[in-house]
Amino acid sequence: MEDFVKYNWTKINDQEHIAKSAILFEEMNRRRSIRGFSDDPVPKEALINAIRTASTAPSGANKQPWTFCLISSPEIKREIRIAAEEEEKLNYGQRMSEEWLEDLKQFRTNWQKPFLEIAPYLIVVFKKVYDNDGEGKKTNYYVNESVGLATGFLLMCLHQIGLYTLTHTPSPMKFLTKILNRPENERPFLLIPVGYPEKDHEVPDIKRKETDEILVEYP
């Protein structure tokens, strides 16, 4: 039986809610995925704090069914680049539909992924489809939702602390399990290069949906 403890929460006033929400929106609305990184170093301690923040996300039955791999080894980054490019060559050359390729044109992506070696860090998020603590298999619940939430926390945190990211899925990503030597119960969820944009980096001029396209109110 788990204990319950008093929750120390605080109430702020409506003006503060509104002011904080407006600032946060402006900040997050400036976030952009980047695909050209510089090799400028970033402080590892900040990344570890960001990962700890990600791990505060809610999860099914609080199972926290995730592992974050933090990679700075040039050898491992190189291995990941080579394997990712192999998959992406097949994706762009034969696996992706015409519609998909058309949808991606605006991002000017291709199979080449030099940023996987250039970015100072790669974070690979793994989901634990079940837990394996040595005493046998234990069930995890809502694994995709939970790991998606933790990854969202991570991306938001990294942006808030002034670091830049890409959500990268060189699928199928099974090669990451192998290169990073992860156990059988872990599956790659997302590959996130972290660092700073390269000099004069350009991003596509994307438009975000208007509020009335994403929000339905029931007053």
Q: Which residues of the chain form contacts with ligand IYR (CB under 6 A)?
A: 88, 91, 104, 107, 109, 168-170
| 183-216 exposure pattern, b = at least 16 Cβ within 10 A, e = fewer | eebbbbbbbbbbbbbbeeeeeeeeeeeeeeeeee
| Nearest-CB residue for ligand IYR | 109
The minimum distance between CB 26 and ligand IYR, in angstroms, equals 24
* Residue 7, CA atoms < 13 Å, CB-side half-sphere: 4
φ, ψ dihedrals at 67, nearest 5°: -135, 135
Q: Give the strand pairing for 130-132 and 121-128.
A: unpaired
Q: What Rg do the C-alpha atoms of the chain give, in angstroms?
A: 19
- 107 vs 141 by CB, closer to ligand IYR: 107
By C-beta, is 55 or 169 nearer to ligand IYR? 169
The least CB distance from residue 204 to ligand IYR, in Å, is 11
Nearer Cβ to ligand IYR (46/96): 96
CA-to-CA distance for 34 and 204, rounded, in angstroms? 9
DSSP 107: G
Cα–Cα distance between 79 and 122 in angstroms, integer?
12
Question: Please, which residue, 158 or 166, has the CB nearer to ligand IYR?
Answer: 166
Q: From CA 127, how far away is CA 154, in angstroms rounded?
A: 14
CB of 167 to ligand IYR, least distance (A): 8
Q: Give the nearest distance from C-beta 206 to ligand IYR in angstroms.
A: 11
Identify which of residues 44 and 78 has a Cβ nearer to ligand IYR in the complex: 78
Nearest distance from residue 88's CB to ligand IYR, in Å?
6
Q: Which is nearer to ligand IYR, 16 or 103 (CB)?
A: 103
Smallest gap from Cβ 91 to ligand IYR, in A, equals 6
Both tokens of residue 47?
């990344």
